[in-house]
Amino acid sequence: MSANAGHRGQAETSAGSVWELQAGGYHRFFSQFTMPVARPLLDAARVTAGSTVLDAGAGPGHAARAARARGARVVAADLSAAMLACARHADPLLPLVRADAGTLPVAGGAFTAVVAGFCLPHLADPAAGTAELARALAPGGWLAVSIWDAPARARHTGLLADAIADVTGTPPPTPAVPAGRLRELLQAAGLDHAECSTLRWVHPVPSAQALWDGLLASPVAAAAAVLRATPAIQRRIRERFLTLAAALTDAGGTVRLPVSAVISAAQRPPAHGPRGYRPTTAASAPQASGLMLWLSRKMLSGS
């Protein structure tokens, strides 16, 4: 437990600075779970060669890099400079913008596709944030978002949540956006043809200890709940966690974790669609920053 004591202060910082302080821990541990979702997310947003794509809350930039590999023109946006540094390290040529996904400095209708992998639950107002992502979409463009499934199916975080609930009687806070509400959020943002799919796989983690260490170094609510507990309670949660993990561990010590992510996508109605949709203009974009506007206009012009 002593190895984790240094994380206590981090767990108590504000939500925004947690992503700055724990970007490395998140990338080292969580990228193995989010990376497999990048391509399905792009598929849901209909990203192909020539698409203009915004990856909002891009973190280490998995979806943005995969979109570039498809021949799309991409901007990766994130609020955290440390996260953008991870993305830059992975691909020094990836266009990056530090921006709040809830108030994008981008002209309305600038992108043919917008993706937001595991980002919505972290926004101050997920419904308003979804509407803002939809605003960035060109008429006919697609928004695709992903979140983790319920803890009973997303065991990479569910194991720790269960261990906490078993020991303290109080489960960690549930995500701000439950999987069942995704499609509703997209529809409320004025998007059409909302669809939802679930991606399930079994992910190998070398050991239960590696899983524990990785989770506690990541900015997840369950880890913060552990780090707020007394050392005695932390010890009991860890013991319970290792017992639960043992049930998923093979003879070689590898934990075979069931992981489940929910992807939802929907389309911005065409400009002259049946609902009389009128595209927003650059002038109505909040906080229009020169760089982002320049990038989005350049992408649309294809130059």
Q: Residues 65, 67, 97, 100: which binds ligand SAM (CB under 6 A)?
A: 100
Closest contact distance (angstroms) between CB of 134 and ligand SAM is: 15
Specify the residue, 25 or 60, whose C-beta has the smaller distance to ligand SAM: 60
**At CB < 8 A and 24+ separation, what contacts does 169-172 make?**
172/221, 172/222, 172/224, 172/225
Specify the residue, 29 or 234, whose C-beta has the smaller distance to ligand SAM: 29
Residue 105 binds ligand SAM, judged by CB under 6 A: no
Residue 292 binds ligand SAM, judged by CB under 6 A: no
Q: Residues 7, 11, 19, 234: which binds ligand SAM (CB under 6 A)?
A: 19
Residue among 87, 85, 78, 19 nearest 54 (CA):
78
Q: Residues 78, 132, 149, 162: which binds ligand SAM (CB under 6 A)?
A: 78
Residues within window 30-49 making contact with ligand SAM, judged by CB under 6 A: 34
Number of residues that bind ligand SAM (CB under 6 A): 19
Q: Residues 7, 62, 68, 268: which binds ligand SAM (CB under 6 A)?
A: 62
Tell me the C-alpha distance between 261 and 125, whole Å: 21
Kindly indicate which of the ranges 54-62, 166-174, 201-209, 260-268 contains the residues binding ligand SAM, using the contact rule CB under 6 A: 54-62
Residue 79 binds ligand SAM, judged by CB under 6 A: yes
Residue among 244, 154, 167, 133 nearest 198 (CA):
154
Residue among 161, 121, 135, 123 nearest 244 (CA):
161
Closest contact distance (angstroms) between CB of 275 and ligand SAM is: 29
Query: What residues make contact with ligand SAM under the rule CB under 6 A?
Result: 19, 34, 57-60, 62, 78-80, 83, 100-102, 117-119, 122-123
